[in-house]
Amino acid sequence: MTMNYTVTEVNLNHTEWWTDRIKAVPYDSLMTYFLIIDYIIIVPIIVGNLLILISICRYQRLRTRMHILIGNLAVSDLLLGAIFIPYDILFMTNLEFTSNMYICLTRTALLYTFLGASVLNLLAISFERYISIIHPLYPWEHSKFILVGIISASWIFSATLGLLPLLGWNNWETGMPCDMALVLTKPYRNLIFLFYLLSLIANFVMYVKVVRSALRHIRAIEAHPSLKSNSVPVNIVSLSRPTKKNYKKTKLMMLLLGVFALCWGPYMILVFIDNFFLEESSDLMTARKFVSALGMLNSGLNWIIFGLKNSTFRSAFKDILTCGHASSEGSLWTSTTC
């Protein structure tokens, strides 16, 4: 298999920001690195997210609202590893695909659909944590329907966002390299960045309110050290065991969000500065590929975070990987069949 790929000059008369040709550069060594990265990260992404889904499906203790939303996040991560990365590998090893508009735009559609679903899933988890902590008496009688609605809406919105270029919102011209900055319109790239930024801001605001609530609860307990839990007034929520567990879960989800922001942040920042400040070049195309690989790596980190930071998931993973021989919780586990 040979990959003597060079980025050639492209004439984009309709695009003012494209004024210079992209310099020809050999891609053999770079493509080899990208392929190695894809092959390495695909295994932990698929295996890890399957572990999460099997754990939620198999054990009753992992059927809470938060865990169901985590499962939906695992689905988006799993699809990125099982569909987008193999497609990306096929794309890089069959470079004649770059001349086909639909194959090129499908690659973009898959990436932004799964990325959009992950962003919205994290937002849904943040909202669930916010309601659980700030409004603990919120009636969840119809939580099953609410969850189905949230999950359905997240996928419909993300699929619509990802499919927009395929539906005509693109700059495609014959002979154009299949690169995001060329084939996607500037308004669409701005929309992607704005969607990511606003979602992170919404997450941040909700978690700030949760942390402030936690600090108020702690100060309330410290101000009444002699009060027992059954004598605390109704308007003072004590840090009982369930409440402590709620905050522990919230800290875990904040860590998950932070890792997501660190992994996908460089990609989104590059999208932003590329739109307004940088002139397109082969170096910039290479940089985009590296930071997108960092973003995809995030899909293989969540299960590791759960395994290290959450004892329930850790026990479930051990139980599954050892066919039930490593479970130390005995009857506490309720195994079910999906």
Lowest-confidence segment of 35-49, 127-141, 233-247, 283-297 by average pLDDT: 233-247
Alpha helices, DSSP H, located in the chain? 28-58, 65-79, 85-93, 101-134, 143-163, 180-183, 186-223, 241-276, 282-297, 302-309, 311-321
Q: Give a yes or no: residue 296 inside a domain.
A: yes
Q: What is the mean pLDDT of residues 107-117?
A: 93
Residues forming beta bridges with residue 335, ordered by sequence position:
59
59 forms beta bridges with 335
Q: Evaluate if residue 8 carries a pLDDT over 90.
A: no
Higher pLDDT pick, 95 / 45? 45
Rounded to the nearest integer, the mean pLDDT of the chain is 79
Q: Is the pLDDT of residue 336 over 60?
A: no
Tell me: pLDDT of 143 over 90. Answer: no
**Count of beta carbons in the 10 Å neighbourhood of residue 168:** 8
- At 6 the pLDDT is 41
22, part of any domain: no
At residue 325, the pLDDT reads: 61
Domain that holds residue 231: 28-332
Which is more confident, 22 or 166? 166
pLDDT band at residue 165 under the 50/70/90 scheme = very high
What percent of the chain has a predicted confidence (pLDDT) above 90?
Answer: 32
Q: Is 5 inside any structural domain? A: no
Q: Is the pLDDT of residue 20 over 70?
A: no
Q: By three-state DSSP, how is residue 44 classified?
A: helix
Please tell me the pTM assigned to this model.
0.81
Residue whose C-alpha is closest to residue 250's, from 73, 72, 242? 242
Whether 309 is covered by a domain: the verdict is: yes
According to the model, what pLDDT value does residue 221 have? 64
pLDDT digits (tens, 9 = 90+) for 81-94: 999 999 989 888 88
Answer for the pair 31, 3: CB distance below 8 angstroms, yes or no.
yes
pLDDT band of 14, cuts 50, 70, 90: very low
CATH number at residue 301: 1.20.1070.10
Q: Quick one: average pLDDT of 211-230?
A: 66
pLDDT in tens, 61-79: 888 888 999 999 999 999 9
Most confident residue range from 46-55, 138-147, 201-210: 46-55
Does pLDDT of 245 surpass 90?
A: no
pLDDT (mean) for 34-40: 88
How many independent structural domains does the chain possess? 1
pLDDT of 22 reads 42
**C-alpha to C-alpha distance for 130 and 184, rounded to whole angstroms:** 36
pLDDT-derived band of residue 238, with 50, 70 and 90 as boundaries? very low
CA distance 189 to 168: 14
pLDDT at position 247: 74
Weakest-pLDDT range from 3-12, 21-30, 105-114, 139-148: 3-12
Whether 10 has a pLDDT exceeding 80, the answer reads: no
Q: What is the pLDDT of residue 12?
A: 42
Domain membership of residue 14 (yes or no) is no
